[in-house]
Amino acid sequence: MLQPIQPYIYNNMYPQNYGYSVPPQMQPPQTIQMPSGNRNHILVDPVKVDTFVKQKENALPYIYNVLSTSNDEAEITETLYITDRLIEAGTKGIDKMYPVLSRFNGTNSPNIQTFLAGIYRKIQVPDAFGPLVAMLIRNSITPPQSNFDPNEEIGGAILAYLSDRFKT
């Protein structure tokens, strides 16, 4: 069962009696901040992410629920980031979530495409290969307007699929 997530207050780590104060621009975000300007990566609440990652398999019902119901790009991107971190932490069963992940196969969002391709690269579900190729072709015809290139991750995921098939 997931534990409730407490709001993350960075200043609590540095009590006022020590004389530290953390400028607002250095405090972790309370909500996800999408890439913008010269920043080509997302900013997430690290405590929220770590809370889910520590829950491992117990976090999957929440992840599944968000990915199956949300239409908010920021929330989906954050949840895909958490999913990616869960994979890196050795969480089992994420490959079985392909049906809900495939909901985003047709997206034009470079943020969602990037995380989805990274997840597919790691879980190697055979059904994801075709959608990855379709994303790459779609982005080649109509390049996404972004300050980063999602095709790097998509192409890398495709290469991972191919290289694994030709190992001896």
List pLDDT tens digits, range 35-45: 777 777 777 88
Structure tokens at 10: 């960075």
- Terminal CA-CA length for the chain: 42
Q: Please state the φ and ψ torsions of residue 33, each to the nearest 5 degrees.
A: -120, 120
Banded model confidence at residue 94, pLDDT cuts 50, 70, 90: very high
Express as a percent the part of the chain with pLDDT over 90: 57
The alpha carbons of the chain give a radius of gyration, in whole angstroms, of: 18
| Least reliable range by pLDDT among 11-15, 55-59, 140-144, 151-155 | 11-15
| Least reliable range by pLDDT among 30-34, 72-76, 143-147, 158-162 | 30-34
Give the pLDDT confidence score for residue 35 in this predicted structure: 73
pTM reported for the whole predicted model: 0.78
Is 8's pLDDT higher than 70?
A: no
Give the pLDDT confidence score for residue 164 in this predicted structure: 66
Is 12's pLDDT higher than 70?
A: no
- DSSP notation for 6-47: PPP-GGGGS-GGGT----GGGSPPSS-B--BTTB-S-B--HH
Residues 6 or more apart in contact with residue 26 via CB below 8 angstroms: 10
